[in-house]
């Protein structure tokens, strides 16, 4: 079925390093993207979003980059902390009459002390 894909299923980083999680999307008409964080036993939590008229957006310790030319989305986490360990999902809203978020497969981020 339709889905947003991820390059890396698991990412291991040292505490304090920067993390980069990547996502490829298939529909060039998608106009809105969100990164979610899901901790064990919990529902996905919003981290940051970006609209297609932007190529970069920053939050607290997180930055999302959007490259529409190659249909690529990335989430950068600065100074990764143990509390950042979770599964990260990108989601897209596909334009053209759709009004729903389609999620990617997810990347597990493991932060080691």
Partner 1 sequence: DAGVIQSPRHEVTEMGQEVTLRCKPISGHDYLFWYRQTMMRGLELLIYFNNNVPIDDSGMPEDRFSAKMPNASFSTLKIQPSEPRDSAVYFCASSLQGGNTEAFFGQGTRLTVV
Interaction between residue 105 and partner 1 (CB under 8 A): yes
Interaction between residue 60 and partner 1 (CB under 8 A): no
Residues of this chain, 16-35, that bind partner 1 according to CB under 8 A: 31-32, 34
**C-alpha to C-alpha distance for 2 and 76, rounded to whole angstroms:** 25
- Work out which of 44, 66, 85, 109 binds partner 1, going by CB under 8 A: 44
CB 87 within 8 A of CB 107: yes
Nearer to partner 1, 83 or 96 (CB): 96
Interaction between residue 3 and partner 1 (CB under 8 A): yes
- Work out which of 40, 42, 53, 70 binds partner 1, going by CB under 8 A: 42
Half-sphere exposure of 87 (CA within 13 A, CB side): 15
Q: How far apart are the first and last CA of the chain?
A: 38
Residue 56: name the closest of 22, 48, 97, 3 by CA.
Answer: 48
Residues that bind partner 1 (CB under 8 A): 1, 3, 31-32, 34, 36, 41-46, 49, 89, 93-94, 98-106
């Amino acid at each position: 079925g339709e889905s947003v894909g991820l390059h890396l299923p698991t990412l291991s980083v040292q505490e304090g390093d920067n993390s980069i999680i990547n996502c490829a999307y298939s529909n060039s008409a998608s106009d809105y993207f969100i990164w979610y964080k899901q901790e064990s036993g919990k529902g996905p939590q919003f981290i940051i979003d970006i609209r297609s008229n932007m190529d970069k957006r920053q939050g607290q310790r997180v930055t999302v980059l959007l490259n529409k030319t190659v249909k690529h989305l990335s989430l950068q986490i600065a100074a990764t902390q143990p509390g950042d360990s979770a599964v990260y999902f990108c989601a897209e809203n596909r334009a053209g009459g759709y009004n729903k978020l389609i999620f990617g497969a997810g990347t597990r981020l493991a932060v080691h002390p």
